[in-house]
Each structure stands twice: as C-alpha cells, then as structure tokens.
Structure 1
Amino acid sequence: MKRLILIRHGKSSWELNVRDHDRVLLERGINDAHLIGKHLNSAFISSQQIWSSTAARALQTAVIVSEYIDYNLLSFKLKRELYTFDSSELISQIKSCTNDIDTLMVFSHNHGLTDTVNALGSNYFDNIPTTGAVIIEFNTTQWSDISNGQTIAHFFPKNLK
C-alpha cells in the first residue's frame, strides 16, 4: 500500500516585483499552512518522506506543515522538478519515489496538482485551493505502478475555519 499526500502551496502575492519562483506566502498563506498542519496532526497523518518544489511559496508551506507532523527535516527533499504546472511531469516525479517509502507528501503547484489529483484519485475536484491537501491510497507496493487510487480524504482551509 502506498499513500500520497498532495498539498498545494499557500496563498502568495503577485504584487511583489520578483520572479515567480521567488514569490513568498502572504499572511493568509502562512495561517492556512498552520491550519492544515494542525489538522493533519490531529488526524494522525504523517509522512515518511516530504518533497517540495524549490519555489519559495511551496518551501515555506512545506516547512510550516512539517512542524506539526513531527517530521525530521534531515529527510526533507527539495526538488526543482516539482516546480511544474504539468501533471505528467508531477506524476513522473512521484513514480520515481523509492519503494521503501510508503507515505509520500508532495508540495507543488496548480494546475498540475489538481490535474494529478484527478488523474490518480477517485474523487474529482474542479480546483485544489491554495494549501489544500488531498490524500490518495494505492493498492500497490511499487510507486512506478500507481494509478486508479482511492481518494481517502481532502482538507481545504476554508472548510476548517
């Protein structure tokens, strides 16, 4: 059994004069990341491995959430390849996970993240909101074989406030 936790980065600002990759979280994004982290903790959801896009907003979201699930940051992986808006690229990265990892948490970007959730999970979502988390389980022992998973939960900040 493999468990995938996909989380979209928190709300960021378009108003700063920086590259897209360097955009940071707004206060709302920071607060929502704390909210999702607390909720994952209270639901006893943890991860053996956390991967994050190298974009500042994804990394900030990942670090905040990881504080709540008691994750050892020495195992944390930044992956430039997760700075993608394409689901096929995101799925390719997920399928490259080593099979000794049973639970993988990935922080990435839309539209690729929503498309990945819809391609791999059993529930359809029009849009995964910022800091939205979706958990999908797969009845396989190989990450390279994941497909047609079962969406077991989703947590969106607006539903937790």
Structure 2
Amino acid sequence: MKRLILVRHGKSSWETNLPDRQRPLKSRGNTDGILISKAYKESYKNPELVLTSDAVRANTTANIFKATLEIPDDKFIVDPKLYTFDERELKHIIKGCKESIDTLMVFGHNNALTFLANDIGSEYIDNIPTTGLVIIDFKVERWTQIKEGQTIKTLFPKHLK
C-alpha cells in the first residue's frame, strides 16, 4: 500500500514587489502550519519522505511540519520542480518516488494539488485551502501504479478552529 499526503502551503503575503517564489508566509500561515502539523501528528504516522517546492511559502510550511514531526534532514527534500501549478507535472514527480517509500508527504501549490486530489482521490474537493492536508491511500505496490485511491482524510484549518 502507498499513502500520499498532499499539503498546500500556508497563507502567504501578496507583497507585490516580490517575485512569486519569494513570497513569505503571513502570521496566519505559520499558526495554521503548527495547528495542522500537530493535528496530523496526533493521529498518523510520520511520512518516510517529505518533498517540498522551493517557493518560500511552501518550504516554510514544510519546515513547520518537519519540526513538529521531527523529520530528519535526509528525509526532507526541496525540489524546484514542485513549484508547479500543473497536476500532470506533480503526478509525474510523485510517480518517480522510490518504491521503498510507502508514505510520502508533498508540499506544493494550487491548482495542482486540488486537481490532483480530485483526479486520484475518491472524494471531490472544491478547493484545498492554504495549509490544507489531504491523505489518499492506494492499494498498489509501486508509485507508478497510482490511479484511483481512497481519500481517507481531509484536514483543513477551519476544521480545527
């Protein structure tokens, strides 16, 4: 079985004088990251690998989870290719994950995350909000085989406030 955890970056600043990749989290993004990572930790086992976009807002959100879940450095990878808004590119990256990894957490961006969750999950999600987390399980042995999974959890900040 493979488990995919998709996490959208936290609420970010729309500072117009910054390139998109450099936009930082707002204070709410930090607070929501702590809230969701702690809620995840209470009920689920740690991912074996964490992949994150190199965009500041995604990387900062991922680092909040890294600290909360105590993810070792060698299980935390910043991948510039995850700075994508295309679900096909995102799916291609996920399908390239090593077969020895059974639980993968990916931090990225909309629309790619919502479209991918709807493409491969069993539950329609109108929009994954900032710091939203979706867990999808697949009854497969290889990441290349992921198609139709079972959405087992959606965890959004509004669920916990």
Q: TM-score scaled by structure 2?
A: 0.98
Q: Which amino acid aligns with 2:158?
A: K
CA deviation after TM superposition for structure 1 residue 16, in Å: 4.6
Amino acid at match of 1:109: H
CA distance in 1, matches of 2:29, 2:45: 21
Q: Take 2:125 and 2:45, find their aligned partners in 1: how far apart are those partners?
A: 21
Q: Structure 1 residue runs of 4+, over 2 Å off?
A: none
Greater shift in the superposed pair: 85-94 or 8-17: 8-17
Partner in structure 1 of residue 13 of structure 2: 13
Q: CA deviation at 1:69?
A: 1.6
Per the TM alignment, residue 119 of structure 1 is displaced from its structure 2 partner at its CA by 0.4
- Determine if contact 2:15/2:23 at 8 Å carries over to the other structure: no
Q: 2:38 & 2:16 partners in 1: Cα distance?
A: 29
- Separation in 2 of the partners of 1:66 and 1:151? 23
Runs of 5+ unmatched residues, structure 2: none
Alignment match, 2:129: 129
Letter matched to residue 63 of structure 1: N
**Count of residues in Structure 1 that have an aligned counterpart in Structure 2:** 161
**Aligned partners of 1:45 and 1:69 also within 8 Å:** no
Identity of matched residues, %: 49
Match for residue 72 of structure 1? 72
Whole-Å Cα distance in 2 between the matches of residues 72 and 160 of structure 1? 27
2:44 counterpart of 1:44: yes
Distance in 2 (CA, whole Å) between partners of 1:40 and 1:79 is: 23
Amino acid at match of 1:74: D
Q: Which residue of 1 aligns with 2:140?
A: 140
- 5+ residue gaps, structure 1, are none
| AA in 2 matched with 1:36 | I
- Higher alpha-carbon deviation: 61-70 or 46-55: 61-70
Q: Is the 8 A contact 1:133 1:154 kept in 2?
A: yes
TM-score under structure 1 length normalisation: 0.98
